[in-house]
Structure 1
Amino acid sequence: MTRTQTLAFVGDSITDAGRDRADAGSLGDGYVRLVADEFARRGASVRVVNAGIAGNRAVDLERRWAPDVAPHEADVVTLFIGVNDMWRRYDHDDPTSAEDFEATCRRLLAAEAQSRPVGPKWILMEPFLLPVREEQHAWLDDLDGKRQAVRRLAEETGAPLVPLHDILTAAAGAEGAAALAPDGVHPTPLGSRLIADAWFTAFDGVSASGREAAAPAAEASAATA
């Protein structure tokens, strides 16, 4: 009997996507819903958990990790955070340095790994911004520090990186930024579809690698039996 895998998605409004927080099974209407729909189409035995909350920064995730994320003991945790760590600098004069952002994310990864005998697999999503107003172009410098922090963590831990900023920036060149995110951040259905597709590229790559690694091990076991 196939064991049901739990996949938890943790982040801000892009993950939240209007979910009903009073309903544990609510997935919102963004990329997490599209991911769940694709798993259903594949007939996969998975449980998808949306643990996104609009407006969250990395420090907010850290405060609520124990009650909102850890109890699920997810097999795969997708961490997608950073745009509000940038945005609050410009709309509330409340900046988060790249160093503080990275330190918080490191603590999240370490705490989850230490909280149970077999820690989760991680997928790290890069924050993105598609400037639709002139002043937003200057925000990219701040975002770049957060993006590089996520990339370092992916490289150090071996977690798959979903390079959303590069993917969506390229798509915006063809479709126009507003067609993907009218305010530069919150995705349209097309933007959500591109995010979900990018997530599956990372997830399927990890799954394929796991199968390839398992095959030689199984052959070796049979040879020594």
Structure 2
Amino acid sequence: MRLDGNLRYVALGDSHTEGVGDGDDDTGLRGWADRLADRLAATGARVEYANLAVRGRLARQVREEQLAAALEMRPDVATVFAGVNDVIRSGYDAEAVVGHLEAMFAELTATGARVATLTFPDIARIAPLTKPLLPRVLDFNERVRAAADRHGVVVADVAAHEVATDRRLWATDRLHCTPLGHDRIAGALASALELPGADGSWADALPLMPERSTLLTLAEEVRWLGTFLGPWMVRRVRGRSSGDGRAAKRPALLPVETA
């Protein structure tokens, strides 16, 4: 991957790639993909960047709605991260979901793009009530690693590092990252892509925090159940998605301004 000329970066995915948790819909979302685009531009390359991600999208929808547009842009770098919305739903089909990801890996790498993806951390340590989903997450990660290996896709193996489950990296909904979390993921991808100046410091542990009491922990879980999990389940029952009526925030390649 050359960094001494023009560089096109396209991000495909769901709310994580869109940047939910880093900013808001009024002031604008940033997120790890925007931050990675900044890191690419910091190498001296003239970067054009598009973000096709839309919150709530399943892996199948990312493939159906975003891949063709991404291929038309002929990216030099592409990130593909989807499947978490599938993992947390009933009726999850691991083979089908990772099959959609692998199809995207295959088509993008066939154009010569440098493609990168992520693994998802131990969900039970982020939201203890989701512990029954942990076997799915671990299996999903293994399948993604294998699919990426078959196509020469770079994996930022976030799940392999302890800091990935530090609650300061996660928003109150337990599903999306805080600005700090998004910045750490951008650092992980920059390191995996071996960008100049990138290193493993993204995985450094944060300062220790005081132990939380059992009562406080229980109260937080009850609050999360009522504030986030409950409404999410209601949307599923009604067949609705958080991304209904939404479009990509950056659907075309635009220059990345450097400081």
- Considering the TM-score relative to the shorter chain, is it more than 0.5? yes
Partner of 1:108: 104
For the structure 1 residues 3 and 133, does the alpha-carbon distance in structure 2 shift closer, same or farther, using more than 3 Å as the test? closer
Partner of 1:86: 87
Deviation per CA, 1:149-174: give whole Å up to 9, x if none. 1100122222211112223xx1156x
Partner of 1:133: 127
Partner of 2:249: none
Does the CA contact (< 8 Å) of 2:83 and 2:98 recur in 1?
no
Match of 1:152 among 138, 146, 150: 146
Match of 1:193 among 173, 183, 188: 183
Partner of 1:163: 157
Q: For the residues of structure 2 that align with 1:35 and 1:66, how far apart are their CA atoms?
A: 20
Does the CA contact (< 8 Å) of 2:123 and 2:134 recur in 1?
no
In structure 1, list runs of 5 or more residues that go unmatched: 20-26, 90-94, 209-225
Deviation per CA, 1:95-144: give whole Å up to 9, x if none. 32111112222222333455xxx431211222335444332112111112
Partner of 1:62: 63
For the structure 1 residues 36 and 172, does the alpha-carbon distance in structure 2 shift closer, same or farther, using more than 3 Å as the test? closer
Does the CA contact (< 8 Å) of 2:105 and 2:153 recur in 1?
no
In the TM superposition, 1:12-91 aligns within 5 A as 12-17=14-19, 28-89=29-90
For the structure 1 residues 122 and 207, does the alpha-carbon distance in structure 2 shift closer, same or farther, using more than 3 Å as the test? farther
Q: For the residues of structure 2 that align with 1:172 and 1:3, how far apart are their CA atoms?
A: 33
Match of 1:119 among 104, 112, 115: 112
Q: For the residues of structure 2 that align with 1:206 and 1:99, how far apart are their CA atoms?
A: 36
SS at structure 2 position matched to 1:88: coil
How many residue pairs get matched? 188
Q: For the residues of structure 2 that align with 1:196 and 1:43, how far apart are their CA atoms?
A: 17
Q: CA RMSD in A?
A: 2.7
Q: For the residues of structure 2 that align with 1:113 and 1:134, how far apart are their CA atoms?
A: 37
Does the CA contact (< 8 Å) of 2:171 and 2:177 recur in 1?
yes
Q: Does residue 99 in structure 1 map to residue 99 in structure 2? A: no
TM-score if structure 2 supplies the norm length? 0.64
TM-score if structure 1 supplies the norm length? 0.73
Calculate percent identity across the aligned residue pairs: 24
Structure 1 position 66, deviation (Å): 4.7
Does the CA contact (< 8 Å) of 1:82 and 1:127 recur in 2?
no
For the structure 1 residues 157 and 206, does the alpha-carbon distance in structure 2 shift closer, same or farther, using more than 3 Å as the test? farther
Please identify, of 120-129 and 44-53, the stretch whose mean Cα deviation from structure 2 is larger. 120-129
Does the CA contact (< 8 Å) of 2:43 and 2:196 recur in 1?
no
In structure 2, list runs of 5 or more residues that go unmatched: 23-27, 199-259
